[in-house]
A and B are shown apart, each in its own frame.
Chain A
Amino acid sequence: DVKVTQSSRYLVKRTGEKVFLECVQDMDHENMFWYRQDPGLGLRLIYFSYDVKMKEKGDIPEGYSVSREKKERFSLILESASTNQTSMYLCASSFPVRDRVERQYFGPGTRLTVT
């Protein structure tokens, strides 16, 4: 079974701190994704990566950056955390298939609170 793990289930950080959220998948997937989920707004794509060192902005990249140095690991970075970044963060991965969208496998999520 594919496993996507996230470094923490719950995280509390202070405003202005640099925050790293780590995601690791064990199925050699090329595609990896970071979403945030907020009540009433659903899941929104922050960044995605389709290969090592490759990254693309999603729908809401402002205030975030990402790093993909190894295929299995995709990190989301909050350079200077703010209270409006309090949210549930979800990581996912998938195989790339030409002309088709393959299923995504999601991690359990990290609930980040910025105070």
Chain B
Amino acid sequence: DAKTTQPNSMESNEEEPVHLPCNHSTISGTDYIHWYRQLPSQGPEYVIHGLTSNVNNRMASLAIAEDRKSSTLILHRATLRDAAVYYCIRAGGTSYGKLTFGQGTILTVHP
């Protein structure tokens, strides 16, 4: 069972950067780190994923530690629409594409 550890909740102010941490100390060499978020009353939404190096897309950046035991999802300028539960998931390549969701981090964004 793929395990990650995230804080239960975090708060941010609008237009400020947000750094969401995730620990995955038992990660294997072929596991990718995926991030999803779930807005209220919606299904989860893919945010970003990476293996070793830092990744950027239009939604966020993913910074992966050199030893790959932790990673950080960075929202560069939080908006009220970013308030959601954020899930960090480690996913191996032999699992038929399965993902194991943990409890995630509830992000509150204050105006």
Residues on A lying within 8 angstroms of B by beta carbon are 4, 31, 33, 35, 42-45, 48, 50, 56, 58, 90, 92, 94-109
**B80 at interface, CB cutoff 8 A:** no
Residue from A50, A99, A106 within 8 A of B96 (CB atoms): A50
Is chain B's binding surface mostly helix, strand, loop or mixed?
Answer: loop
Residues on B lying within 8 angstroms of A by beta carbon are 30, 32, 34, 36, 41-46, 49, 91-104
Q: By the criterion CB–CB under 8 Å, are A104 and B96 in contact?
A: no
Q: How far is the CB of B48 from chain A (nearest CB, A)?
A: 9
B residues less than 8 Å from A31 (CB atoms):
96-97
Residue from B34, B42, B102 within 8 A of A101 (CB atoms): B34
Give the residue name and chain of the B residue nearest to A95 (CB): B97
B residues less than 8 Å from A96 (CB atoms):
96-97
Q: By the criterion CB–CB under 8 Å, are B101 and A43 in contact?
A: yes
Q: By the criterion CB–CB under 8 Å, are A45 and B43 in contact?
A: no
